[in-house]
């Protein structure tokens, strides 16, 4: 009898193990399988949210078929209590495991509303926009030019500021001057603290910077400078041989000139090559943006053409009168211009002029250059109706 009972118990135990193993295998398979969500949506996770309520909401919204299994999987992986508040994009077909990863990894929100403060060469602009989950594109909610003394701001901006999950970014355009950067940061009321002096020209990296409301302006400027120094140091180590520049500082000066001379990505190497060739030949660089910087000191744009008297004006930045590089950068160059300055294209070009298409015509001889100049003047005359 005892043998029969023992045999039955062992049999039941084996069946239990087999069934349990099958259930666990099935659960794991379901937890990692593609989910039923047909269209992506933006999931807002409130501070203090719990996995029970979150899984229930996801079930109601058609993203999860078995909320209880999502809860069990989250507990099994040790992530049930690691939910981070924010707004997250849940893609179509996301598995329960993927959703758990999305809401527990933390970091910046991946959808919802964001505030973007753009500091450009010609203007400063604040934009409030929201991600459309269906298209993956941002829809503008408000755009305005900020000012420290402004009495009112758009309602969408005030609402976005009041939400803790709003993503906030400061974006520096390539070619802005350090004075423009400080002016832009001072106009952005989300930041705090004062800037005692304008940072050295050229040493702020154009890029996108994630910030939080209340961040200090000086701290953000320090981050921009650190990033630019890292970029320059790496590019300097990877520079071409036999360049007519002796230090990273000079490389930054050349990169800033390249940045201001062309907005065409595929021209940067060619423009840098022209200036490198002129430096090697001992020719003056004859670059208008440097002359303009000597006039404006980087405080905004000139908004007009250079006068003959200004081309003859005595400033350290007049590269028509002075040979070699100007004494400092004339703007904050982006990474692409830094790389171009240190690895220019090898050509015989010594001249370039606008070609009417937004780019430039390059020439190796003065005769070729004069012919290109004549073409450009004809295009200008036609545009002016002459």
* pLDDT, position 10: 61
For the record, the structure tokens of 369 come out as 């250059």
* pLDDT, position 20: 59
Spell out the SS3 assignment of 194-250. CCCCCCCCCCCCCCEEEECCCCEHHHHHHHHHHHHHHHHHHHHHCCCCCCCCCCHHH
Residue of 220, 219, 173, 179 whose CA lies nearest to 198: 179
Global confidence as pTM: 0.81
* 364/349 Cα distance (integer angstroms): 4
Per-residue CA distances from 119 to 122, 123, 185, 379 (Å): 9, 7, 8, 32
Q: Write the pLDDT tens digit of every residue in 3-45.
A: 555 555 566 555 555 555 566 777 678 888 887 888 787 787 8
Q: Write the pLDDT tens digit of every residue in 49-94.
A: 788 888 888 888 888 887 888 888 888 788 778 788 778 888 888 8
pLDDT in tens, the chain (386 residues): 555 555 555 665 555 555 555 667 776 788 888 878 887 877 878 777 788 888 888 888 888 887 888 888 888 788 778 788 778 888 888 888 888 888 888 666 678 899 999 999 999 999 999 988 888 889 999 999 987 656 678 999 999 998 888 999 999 999 999 999 999 999 999 999 999 999 999 999 999 999 999 999 999 999 999 999 999 999 999 999 999 999 999 999 999 999 999 989 999 999 999 999 999 999 999 999 999 999 999 998 888 888 888 888 889 999 999 999 999 999 999 999 999 999 999 999 999 988 887 889 999 999 999 998 988 888 877 777 75
* pLDDT, position 313: 85
Q: Give ranges for CATH 3.30.1490.480 in the chain.
A: 31-104
CB-based contacts of 231, cutoff 8 Å, min separation 6: 205, 335, 338
Q: Taking the CB of residue 164, how many other CB atoms lie within 10 A of it?
A: 11
* 205/226 Cα distance (integer angstroms): 8
* pLDDT, position 380: 76
Long-range contact set of residues 69-77: C-beta below 8 Å, sequence gap at least 24: 69/27, 69/30, 69/31, 69/96, 70/31, 70/96, 70/99, 70/100, 72/27, 73/27, 73/28, 73/31, 73/97, 73/100, 74/100, 75/51
| Phi, psi for residue 67 in degrees, rounded to 5 | -55, -35
Residue of 256, 246, 261 whose CA lies nearest to 206: 256
The domain 31-104 having CATH identifier 3.30.70.260: the answer here is no
CB-based contacts of 58, cutoff 8 Å, min separation 6: 43, 64, 67, 70, 90, 99
Find the helix or strand (DSSP H, E) in which 342 lies. Answer: helix 335-342
* pLDDT, position 368: 92
| DSSP SS3 for 335 | helix
* pLDDT, position 17: 52
Residue of 334, 332, 375, 333 whose CA lies nearest to 357: 375
């Amino acid at each position: 009898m005892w043998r029969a009972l023992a045999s039955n118990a062992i049999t039941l135990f084996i069946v239990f193990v087999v069934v349990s193993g099958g259930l666990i295998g099935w659960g794991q398979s379901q937890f990692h399988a593609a989910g039923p969500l047909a269209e992506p949506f933006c999931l807002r996770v409130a501070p203090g949210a719990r996995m029970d309520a979150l899984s229930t909401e996801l079930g109601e919204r058609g993203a999860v078929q078995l909320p209880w299994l999502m809860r069990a999987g989250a507990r099994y992986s040790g992530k049930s209590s690691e939910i981070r508040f924010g707004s997250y994009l849940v893609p179509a077909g996301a598995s329960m495991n993927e959703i758990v990863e999305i809401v527990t990894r933390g970091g910046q929100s991946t959808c919802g509303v964001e505030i973007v403060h753009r500091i450009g060469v010609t203007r400063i602009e604040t934009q409030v926009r929201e991600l459309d989950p269906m298209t993956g594109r941002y829809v503008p909610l408000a755009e305005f030019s900020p000012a420290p003394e402004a009495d009112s701001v758009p309602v969408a901006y005030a609402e976005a500021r009041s939400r803790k999950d709003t993503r906030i970014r400061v974006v520096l355009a390539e070619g802005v001057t350090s004075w423009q950067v400080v002016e832009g940061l001072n106009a952005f009321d989300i930041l705090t603290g004062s800037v005692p002096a304008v940072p050295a020209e050229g040493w702020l990296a154009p890029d996108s910077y994630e910030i939080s409301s209340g961040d200090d302006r000086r701290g953000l400027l320090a981050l921009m400078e650190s990033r630019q120094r890292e970029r320059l140091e790496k590019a300097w180590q990877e520079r071409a041989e036999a360049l007519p520049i002796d230090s990273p500082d000079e490389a930054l000066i050349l990169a800033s000139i390249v940045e201001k001379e062309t907005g065409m990505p595929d021209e940067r190497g060619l423009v840098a090559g022209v200036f490198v060739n002129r430096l090697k030949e001992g020719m003056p660089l004859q670059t208008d943006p440097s002359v303009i910087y000597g006039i404006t000191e980087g405080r905004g744009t000139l908004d007009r053409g250079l006068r003959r008297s200004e081309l003859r004006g005595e400033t350290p930045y007049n590269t028509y009168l002075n040979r070699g590089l100007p004494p400092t950068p004339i703007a904050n160059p982006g990474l692409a211009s830094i790389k171009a300055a240190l690895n220019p294209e090898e050509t015989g070009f010594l001249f370039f002029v606008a070609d009417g298409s937004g780019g430039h015509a390059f020439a190796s001889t003065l005769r070729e250059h004069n012919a290109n100049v004549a073409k450009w003047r004809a295009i200008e005359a036609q545009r002016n109706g002459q």
